[in-house]
Structure 1
Amino acid sequence: MLESIRIYNNNIRQIQKGFILLLNLFAITTVSAQQEAKIFEAYKKDRSLLPDFSYAGYHQGEKNIPNITDYKYFDVTDFGAKPNDGKSDKIAIQLAIDAANKNGSGIVFFPKGRFLVNEDGDLTNSIISKKSNIIFRGSGSGPGGTELYMKNNLPPANPTQMWTVPPLFIFTSSGSDKKIGQVTAAASVGDLTIQVNTTEGLAAGDWIMLKLLDNDKDLIASELKYNKVEPEWTNLVEKGISVKVFYQIKNIKKGKLTLYAPISYPIDPKYNWEVYKYANSEEIGIEDIAFVGNWTEKFVHHRSWKDDSGYTILNIRKTTNSWMKNCRFTNCSVAATIGQSANITVVNCKIDGNAGHQAINSNGSTNVLIANCVDEASQWHSFGSSNGSMNTVIWKCTYPATTCFESHSSQPRNTLLDDVEGGLLNGRAGGAMENMPNHMQGLVLWNYKQTNEPVKDFEFWPPSAVFEWWKIPNPIIVGFTSKGTTFKMEQLGQSESIGTAVEPASLYLAQLKLRLGKLPKWIKEKN
């Protein structure tokens, strides 16, 4: 009997080994079946074929997000906050931030527990930090960690404008931008040097804003190509092409500024390209905190200011080389916005609870990386870009089949949806009619996995008589997989391998490795 059992067990182990071998062979076959993307092979020789997304993120993706331990600690409980006592902690939190700001750096620290940040009787103002080198750190965003609970919404600046509720938390700078001069010579996409008429007031290490606003018809036509401009798009028609991008100066020599990151929009000096000294904070970290709102109603888009922005949680603005990691946003209208900033990384964050308006977006910012984030709430607009953002990377993020990425008009450009999984719905981009189209050139879907039901002949530029709220010119789609969606191919700028994922699995990582010669340490640690 024992011998029979031994033989039986040996047979089972052999079957298991065979099954594991088959699984491994299947995995190898699946990987090898993924095609090497021809467009990426061509890109290695001709960098004009794709936008260069490799400069996105904290210090251009080259450095690890630091684990700051040597700053002075400003524990909010030392300023009067007390978790789990049912009393407001809003004043104490602002006092702790003010003390860290005055010190010139600091870790504003929250122990475990629930802190109340907008209770009955609290002033209806935002909690604000305006200095560099501030770490806003909790003790974890999961159960048993740090929760900042927002019972009441802040009032809108204008109740008829549903987007005007201010964020409860704002991390920004205290200075103002200063106009320096004009760009005087042409520069191509990829150039690291620009010629200006004066460098007075600028030094190596400073940040600049390059600004263009010009309604020249040829300039508009050159960007939209064969796509028709609608007269209702008054900001584009009347004000024109708008670009605001942020770069750090590496060195200055004879009227030339050499930048750390390359120009991402072609500069023609016959148009009105201005240079500003950019007033920014830097090295801001927001870590390990659960931000919990009190949005509990069923969301209805544009029904009210409470729906659209009543529980707006956090805004990082006029900030560079900063990060947010391991945070959770629950029951909120708008989770977080990265506004007029550069080289920000948002990583390992989650939106859950009751569905609201927006998840996490890059708004008017340059080289923002949103990585490994999940929207479980199904915000009306999930992760995305808006308002002139340039080179936004959304990498390995997921959202439900019931929503889609955000592309919220006012001329965002160069947005990469990279190894992203979720819905593809043409009603979720966003933006007012006067600010259309939803996106300008440079939207790239790379190994995008669509999870909602298939659509036949999906359109990125449908006739306005059919649908006027979804206009994206010439997107690039590579390695798109779905349950059978097809596209109006003439509306795509470039396309390859629709129906089968490609190698490299991530365009962002492939471009980063191509630029640096190897992947940086933080990528290796993550993977």
Structure 2
Amino acid sequence: MNRIFYILSSVIILSTSISYSQEAAIWKKFTGEITDPKIPTLFDYSYAGYKLGSEGIPDQFANLKTFNIVDFGAIPNDAISDQVAIQSAIDAAEKNKGGIVYFPKGEFLVNVKPDKTNPIVIKSSNIILKGSGMGKNGTVVNMVDHMLQRTPDEAEWKVSYMFTFISPKGENAKTAIAKSVNEGDFTIEVADGSLFKNTKYVQLEMPYNLIAAKEALKGKEPRPHWERLLEKGVMYIENHEIKSISGNTITLQDPVINTIKTEYNWIAKPFYPLENVGVEDIFFKANFNDAFVHHKDFLHDNAWSMISMQRVANSWVRRCKFSNMTGAVSLSNSYASSILMLLIEGNAGHKLTNVAESSRILTGLITDNTTSGQFHGAAMSHRTSGSVIWRVKTPKQGWDSHAEIPKNNLVDRYEASKMTNHGGFHGNEPHHLEGLTLWNYKRVGTPELNYDFWKLSGRGMYWGFSVVNPIIVGLHGSNTTFNEVNLGYLESLGKAVLPESLYEAQLKFRLKKTPKWVTSSLREWEKMEKQ
């Protein structure tokens, strides 16, 4: 990648208020105002989120019947478990082919003295868990005890979340992609289009490939202990909604994220996620009270975690509060969904939010007020692509990428004490391939000098964050400098740029106007943060 550096000053002064520099040159390149070949072209991140960012999450669901958990035996504010009643209400809504599972005001208890792992499971589309508000006099769901391991040797990070959304139908049938496709194209040609008759979604996959891995590193030398990359290469996965099919030609609702080369044996598979599932307006209270120790055991890693969504599309978690938990929300193998407006408080634990093996996910408007900060902040990892972390505050920690080669993701208006608090097994690194952009990142911690995104030496097997040619624009706050050799592009170090939010600006540029859900969410979030 060509490199050009627009560095305003090598000395950065921490300020309590944000002052903005001029409009970023790289933004002008994206809009076509300038054509400087030395400036890279930004990836279009604007398709992240529910309905690809073009629509807001509905406020009303008139077509869905309401199933009040009280009608199924739940009793607020007593000492008896309400879990059976909650699951029964969900089961009834699923039998009805959809419904709002309503939690009235008061506190409801789940996972009381379990003798086995027993998550509340949602496995149908159009199921919404809706409370009466996350604030005072709202709905509280109290996870009394921790989740249990399925077997004594179950990996600590695999322990179930309390509420688990999962599509029961996996991706089995497959067909080859017949023609090469450029990043940004909207159509693909497959060998057998009949596989997608009456199918709404498609999953595109490139199996592990060593040649593609060499290309992905852009000439950078791999670390010697990156076992998976060195032995197998890289693989890519991206999910899409189908707009139309004509013979073997599939037109997509959103553009292809990766350049697809037929010689790399790309395949297409029908994809069957849950649709229109959500969680909103609930205060989730757990009881993790230990001083957190990273990877100490399953209790510290995952046993007090709340909401997991696996294989979902056009779905969401919004307007919720979490306290004393190891993990708030996890999305995996999902598409075009949003995690929005979350407040995290109480004793700090392992994870904030995590997005893995997913495409076009928006994680935004989140504040971590826990004691020492969730050890890992908002995260995108494990082949996640085309996704955005937007206006998140983790003032005691940093954002996270848990390795396994995510690509083309944006961290937008993030506020943190660290550059990252990255994780992931060393054998699965690097942490991120090309296309990572940090836009108007604000650091509030101690100075970070000569930060290196591609160290080739260190103690043990963990040598620091590893990213292929990141783009950093408008990073400000605490004194921060970089090893510029391992940057793809650097502009306005020490002073924020315009546009203030790249995600919002790209969304407006694509849709020709700012969608109403953005402005209304920002107004609502400002009120929520004051609660």
TM-score, normalised via structure 2 length: 0.90
- 1:526 alignment partner in structure 2: 521
Q: Is the 8 A contact 1:52 1:511 kept in 2?
A: yes
Which structure would you say has the larger Rg?
1
**2:162 pairs with 1:190:** no
What amino acid maps onto 2:489 in structure 1?
Q
**Whole-Å Cα distance in 1 between the matches of residues 41 and 103 of structure 2?**
47
TM-superposed deviation, 1:246: 0.5
Gaps of 5+ in 1: 1-28
Write out aligned runs for 1:272-421 (5 A).
Answer: 272-377=265-370, 378-400=373-395, 402-421=396-415
Amino acid at match of 1:196: V
Q: Name the counterpart of 2:46.
A: 54
1:457-496 alignment, distance < 5 Å: 457-465=450-458, 468-496=463-491
Q: Which residue is equivalent to 2:60?
A: 68
Structure 1 residue 69: deviation in Å?
Answer: 3.8
- Residue number among 499, 520, 531 corresponding to 1:504 in the alignment: 499
Match of 1:116 among 87, 95, 109: 109
- Please list the CA deviations of residues 235-278 of structure 1 after superposition, one character each: whole Å capped at 9, or x if unmatched: 22223211111001111123111100001111000002111100
Residue 41, structure 1, aligned to residue 10, structure 2: no
**For 2:487 and 2:468, how far apart are their aligned partners in 1?**
8
> CA-to-partner distance for each residue in 1:147-179, whole Å, 9 max, x for gaps?
111121112245462212111101122212132
More off after superposition, 344-353 vs 460-469 = 460-469
Q: Give the drift of 1:491.
A: 0.9
Contact 2:146 2:303 in 1 (8 A): yes
Distance 1:121 1:521 in 2: 44
Shift of 1:419: 1.0
Q: Match of 1:37, as an amino acid?
A: A
Question: Quick check: 1:90–1:122 contact (8 Å CA) kept in 2?
Answer: no
* Residue equivalent to 1:8: none
Using the alignment, how far apart are the partners of 1:234 and 1:123 within structure 2?
36
CA distance in 1, matches of 2:508, 2:400: 27
**Alignment partners' CA distance in 1, 2:419 and 2:387:** 20
Corresponding letter in the other structure for 2:59: N
Letter matched to residue 433 of structure 2:
M
Contact 1:180 1:200 in 2 (8 A): no
Distance in 2, matches of 1:499 and 1:332, equals 35
Alignment length (residue pairs):
495
- Offset at 1:204? 6.6
Please state how far the C-alpha of 1:326 moved relative to its aligned partner.
Answer: 0.5
Structure 1 stretch displaced more, 461-470 or 430-439: 461-470
Answer yes or no: is 1:142 the counterpart of 2:129.
no
Which residue identity does 2:319 align to in structure 1?
N
Q: Which amino acid aligns with 1:66?
A: P
Alpha-carbon distance, 1:458 to partner: 1.1
Equivalent pair of 2:113/2:145 in contact (CA under 8 Å): yes
Deviation at residue 349 of structure 1 after TM alignment: 0.7
Greater shift after overlay, 488-497 or 120-129?
A: 120-129
1:231 positional shift: 3.6
What percent identity do the matched residue pairs reach? 37
Amino acid at match of 2:44: D
Cα deviations by residue, 1:301-354 (Å, 9 ceiling, x for unpaired)? 111111111212110111101111100111111111011110111111111111
Cα distance change, pair 204–124 in 1 and its aligned pair in 2 (3 A) = closer
Give the drift of 1:121: 4.6
Q: Partners of 1:356 and 1:235 in 2: how far apart?
A: 29
The equivalent residue for 1:260 is 253
Which stretch has the larger CA shift, 97-106 or 343-352?
343-352
Q: CA deviation at 1:135?
A: 1.1
Deviation at 1:282, TM superposition (A): 0.4
Q: 1:495 to 1:248 in 2, by over 3 A?
A: same
- Matched residue SS, 2:509: helix
Distance 1:123 1:160 in 2: 13
Asked which structure has the greater RCO (Cα within 8 Å, sep 6+), the reply is: 2
Partner of 2:166: 172
Matched-pair contact (CA < 8 Å) for 2:223–2:456: no
* 8 Å Cα contact 1:159/1:305 also seen in 2: no
**What SS class does the counterpart of residue 434 from structure 1 fall into?**
helix
Q: Do structure 1's residue 236 and structure 2's residue 229 form an aligned pair?
A: yes
The residue matched to 1:407 in structure 2 has which SS? coil
Which one of 442, 463, 467 corresponds to residue 449 of structure 1?
442
* Structure 1 residues 57 and 335, CA gap change in structure 2 (3 angstroms): same
CA contact (8 A) 1:327 1:349 kept: yes
1:444 CA drift (Å): 0.8
- Report the AA paired with residue 475 of structure 1: P
One-letter identity of the residue aligned with 2:436: L
The answer to whether the aligner puts 1:222 opposite 2:209 as a matched pair is: no
Shift of 1:482: 2.1
Matched, 1:201 2:201: no
- Picking from 432, 457, 476, the partner of 1:439 is 432
Displacement of 1:48 in angstroms is 6.9
Report the CA distance shift for 1:54/1:435 in structure 2 as closer, same or farther (over 3 A). Answer: same
Distance 2:270 2:247 in 1: 18
Structure 2: which amino acid aligns with 1:517? K
**What amino acid does structure 2 have at the position aligned with 1:389?**
T
Secondary structure in 2 matching 1:349 = strand
C-alpha spacing 1:385/1:489, structure 2 compared with 1 (3 Å):
same
Distance 2:394 2:208 in 1: 37
1:152 corresponds to? 145
Post-superposition shift, 1:232?
2.1
C-alpha contact (below 8 Å) 2:40/2:489 kept by paired residues: no
C-alpha RMSD of the superposition: 1.8
User: Which amino acid in the other structure matches residue 344 of structure 1?
Assistant: S
Q: In structure 2, how many angstroms separate the alpha carbons of the residues matched to 1:215 and 1:176?
A: 24
CA distance in 2, matches of 1:413, 1:352: 31
- Preserved contact between residue 397 and residue 421 of structure 1 (Cα < 8 Å): yes
- Distance, in Å, in 2 between the alignment partners of 1:186 and 1:172 is 32
Partner of 1:429: 422
Inter-partner Cα distance in structure 2 for 1:489 and 1:306: 40
Distance across 1 between alignment mates of 2:208 and 2:116: 42
TM score, norm. by length of structure 1? 0.91
